[in-house]
Amino acid sequence: MSALTARVFRLPDLGEGLTEAGLVQWLVAVGDTITTDQPIAEVETAKSVVELPSPFAGVVIALHGSPGDTIDVGAPVLEVADAAASDAHEAYRTEERAGSGNVLIGYGTSEREVKGRRRRPAARPGAPTVTPDLSSAAPDTPVTTPEIGDPRISRTIPPTASENRTIIRNSDAEAAARRPVAVRSPLVRRLARDLGLDVRLIAPTGADGAITRADVLRAAVDHAVDGVTAAASAPVEGGPAASALESDARIDGLAVRSRTRMSPLRKAANATLSRSRAEIPEATVWVDVDATALWNARAEMAPEGGRAPSITALIARFVLIALEDHPLLASRLSPDASEVIEFEGVNLGIAADTPRGLMVPVIPHADALSAAELDAALRELAGTARGGTMPPERLRGSTFTLNNYGGFGVDGSAAIINHPDVAILGLGRILERPWVVEGEIVARRIAQLSLVFDHRVCDGGYAASFLRRVVELIEHPLRAFGRV
């Protein structure tokens, strides 16, 4: 029998130059036997939530990190031990060399043999038992609970008021840490993360042992009650501990309600938006457009037994037609801003609001698609983005961005350009408003278009010409399809 070996799985490069990922939840526990390529955790990158497969087979002996933690690329994720691990890993390497699609970018490509951590040797028969001196311990009986992030490490804490509550009892701590997490809904998982709760420590009441929204809220209430109890026993005002609590819990006289760490997605969006504001001298032009003809013609565009293209798809088609005559607005600047790079075709970015935040999925070569094909692509992108399963490669490469913020119930917006694009077009609500037509005030469906552009690439006249072309196509939609 081969000697017991231990391997450390480190967070791989997940692509796109990402340097970290947020741990959403563990899919395995210490003591579980796993197989090669078995998903062991869900991680959130700046692009999407993905399952992380293990390159090793064996028994899990350590998990590094708790849900909500950020793990750097190259940092340990979990440790696996198995007498036959070397054979399993060699099979994995063979599959990798053959081109397995299960291998993520950057891991499984080099051996990372790491010795297992030292374990306390088992007591020999007849050996004396060493009992620690507890004479100086606090009056309360200490209890041992697993340290989050490494279930093999323990620490001693006094019992608190939460011991008999829903979240967890100390006597059940080890079992809770080992219990598989059953969170079916991403919204429930996000709620727990926003409330600062560890889903492994929440008692499930849902079907098949699933954790429900009510379970999370109940645990949050119990956690809050425990916090109030702890605060009641805090030192009196004026003491050193009180001063530390005051500085941490209040800012400028206001109580701090919560502190939430930025998710990888939010950090990536912040970096892009900050760079855009810092580097791009942007300008904005806008115009009100009569979309009545488009509104009425849309119903006639539905194929027999099918559905009509969405307003967003139709306006996207008009935008792409206008960009044929105004290619500078779908170009890019070279890194040193000394050249304007124009392209054959347009990769259209579509701003989408998702539970994880703003995303801009991309339709490559959108200029080659019909209105119906654009509509199908938009529906697929929206569903994938909101489901949190958008692959990173589908969130890069845009050369022009369209943002239909009318769905939020607003009429206009001074949008920020999606770097490295040089322009973004926004569409507001389409509402019935009084409008003058041939000297008469009539009810028409009016929307506002807002174009934000990089003034280094073109001047206002060029941008206004593009906007007028889009307006013409919206007000006379049949011209776009060669029927007038």
CA angle, residues 306, 362, 418, in degrees to nearest 5? 130
Do 198 and 66 meet the contact criterion of CB atoms below 8 Å apart?
yes
Residue 223 appears among annotated catalytic residues: no
Tokens 């390497």 — which residue? Answer: 93
| Secondary structure (3-state) at 232 | helix
Tokens 């565009």 — which residue? Answer: 301
Neighbours of 230 (CB within 10 A): 12
Please say whether the dihedral angle defined by the alpha carbons of residues 186, 187, 189 and 193, taken in this order, is positive or negative: positive
DSSP code, position 113: B
Of the candidates 209, 292, 228, 286, the one whose C-alpha atom is nearest the C-alpha of residue 450 is: 286
CA angle, residues 189, 193, 199, in degrees to nearest 5? 60
Neighbours of 259 (CB within 10 A): 7
Report d(CA 296, CA 430) in Å as an integer. Answer: 12
Buried b (16+ CB within 10 A) or exposed e, 319-348: bbbbbeebbbbbbbbeeeeeebeeeebbbb
Q: How many residues does the chain have?
A: 484
Do 53 and 38 meet the contact criterion of CB atoms below 8 Å apart?
yes
Report d(CA 270, CA 268) in Å as an integer. Answer: 5
Of the candidates 17, 28, 50, the one whose C-alpha atom is nearest the C-alpha of residue 268 is: 17
CA angle, residues 80, 119, 41, in degrees to nearest 5? 25
Choose the catalytic residue: 89, 365, 455, 476.
Answer: 455
**DSSP state letters, 335-353:** TTSS-EE--SS--EEE-EE
Distances in Å between the Cα of 458 and the Cα atoms of 49, 145, 329, 344, 466 are 38, 64, 8, 18, 11
Q: Rounded to 5 degrees, what are φ and ψ at 434?
A: -70, 135
Single-letter amino acid, residue 64: H
**Positions marked active-site:** 455
